[in-house]
Amino acid sequence: MEVFMGSEKFNMRVIVVVILFFNMFLVCSVSGIGVNWGTQCTHLLSPNTVVKMLKDNGIQKVKLFDADPNILDALKKSGIQVMVGIPNDMLYTLANSLPAAEKWVSKNVSAHVSSGGVDIRYVAVGNEPFLSTYNGTFEATTLPALQNIQAALTKAGLSSRVKVTVPLNADVYLSSSQKPSDGDFRPDITNVMLEIVKFLSDNGAPFTVNIYPFISLYLDPSFPADYAFFNGYQPAIVDNGKSYDNVLDANHDTLVWALQKHGFGNLPIIVGEIGWPTDGDRNANLPNAQRFNQGFMARYVSGKGTPMRPGPLDAYLFSFIDEDNKSIQPGNFERHWGLFYLDGQPKYNLNLGTGRANGLIAASGVDHLEKKWCVLKPSANLNSDQVAPSVAYACQNADCTSLGYGTSCGNLDVKGNISYAFNSYYQVNDQMDSACKFPGLSMITDKDPSFGTCKFRIMIQTDSAELNGMVWSTTALSLALVFLLLCNVSL
């Protein structure tokens, strides 16, 4: 078959090759994996350091949870595509005031796109605002906030370049059976979900969903563990001739069916968060995280997609770096989702499919505090009435989520647990002498007390020795007290 263009004759096969090459180029241009960059840390790596890490590891997309100007400045001319975020506590204001939305867009999008060279592609309005645990708090404000931010982007002339979306937890939809084809939106939010879906569709915006196979395993002890990974778990679920042998495919396609049932079967989907934690639970460990994330990356790089949506996924790993100041309300594992520790050191070998065969590349130029630790004195009296309140205080104001059954420090004895708590508080407070003054119980040592898989980490140096805005979950206090009772510290 031949086609004529002017006086020149082209063989159709050549055109087909050109089209295929062009399509391959488009796929390659968006196929790089993204990561979530959270900042709920007591000691943050500098934005410039993190951006260098992103580039060194071939990360092409980053999802933020706010619009920190220092982070956006560091992303200037980096070539990294950015999704900026609007926290849930801003939804009410933005929903009820178009001028407030216009001001937010001007300050956090327009200023950085027009003059700063930041490649902002999305605005994430809220973060999982319809979680069932929120009891409907944000149901009335999410869509109006989306509409006002969209209007503000349109007014700023950015609506064709920057799209709005709302990252939603996978609990916004469900299946009445194990089959994805029975998927639909959660009954209590069906109406608002359909309004949001129509709004996204009308504005050429994607549906963003956070999918966590780990949570399925965490919430249900009888859940088949291998089904959470990508090794072809059997027996697979067969649904309308399509086979499902892992949670991701089944969960993702439950959403596809829900969208399809309401006439939005072609709406683009972004997997906003997906990953596996490395501590804080018996199933949260380095081998499982490596297995899951490498399995996911193999699927991602292959461009296989899911049975209902074959082809490349658009996804962001959760998360890039641990966050030791994050709420532990869902579970102690919440502070351990990172591919990297707080100091920018990789946790395990992971090939991101970016041509870097040697795995993850660590942060450079990061300074640590001195090799000093705060531990329990050998002569300390474990029967002292100061032990329980001291450990509780340390854990309430630092991070003890690596202690407990099945965790990285689950092999410590009672003395080791107390030392870990003391050292965590000492490091969070920049090794100040006053932070190792637990009455009659503590001492500073230059001998590393790490034992087996349990690492007594040294904190990184930051510009300020003061801890600003620390919000520690009161759950930590309860956990510490329960832990002490279980360990019978008072003996």
Tokens of 303: 């461009």
CB 444 within 8 A of CB 372: yes
The residue length of the chain stands at: 491
Q: Which of 8, 102, 128, 466 is catalytic?
A: 128
C-alpha 422, offset from chain centre: 28
CA angle 235, 214, 344 (to 5 degrees): 135
Query: Which residue, among 230, 262, 308, 286, has the nearest Cα to 454 in the 3D structure?
Result: 286
CB 350 within 8 A of CB 360: yes
CA angle 233, 234, 238 (to 5 degrees): 105
**Amino acid at position 301, single letter:** V
Long-range pairs, 86-93, Cβ under 8 A, ≥24: 86/123, 86/124, 86/125, 86/126, 86/145, 86/149, 87/126, 87/127, 88/126, 88/127, 88/129, 88/137, 88/138, 90/145, 91/125, 91/126, 91/129, 91/138, 91/141, 91/142, 91/145, 92/141
Any bridge partners for residue 238, and if so which? 243
Q: Which of 8, 139, 273, 323 is catalytic?
A: 273
Per the annotation, the verdict on 128 as an active-site residue is yes
Q: How far apart are CA 266 and CA 174, in angstroms?
A: 19
Per the annotation, the verdict on 8 as an active-site residue is no
Query: Which residue, among 392, 420, 404, 408, has the nearest Cα to 336 in the 3D structure?
Result: 408
Block residue for tokens 């027996």: 235
Tokens of 280: 């804080």
Block residue for tokens 């460990």: 285
Q: How far apart are CA 123 and CA 206, in angstroms?
A: 11
Q: Are strands 8-11 and 183-185 parallel, antiparallel or unpaired?
A: unpaired
Known catalytic residues?
128, 273
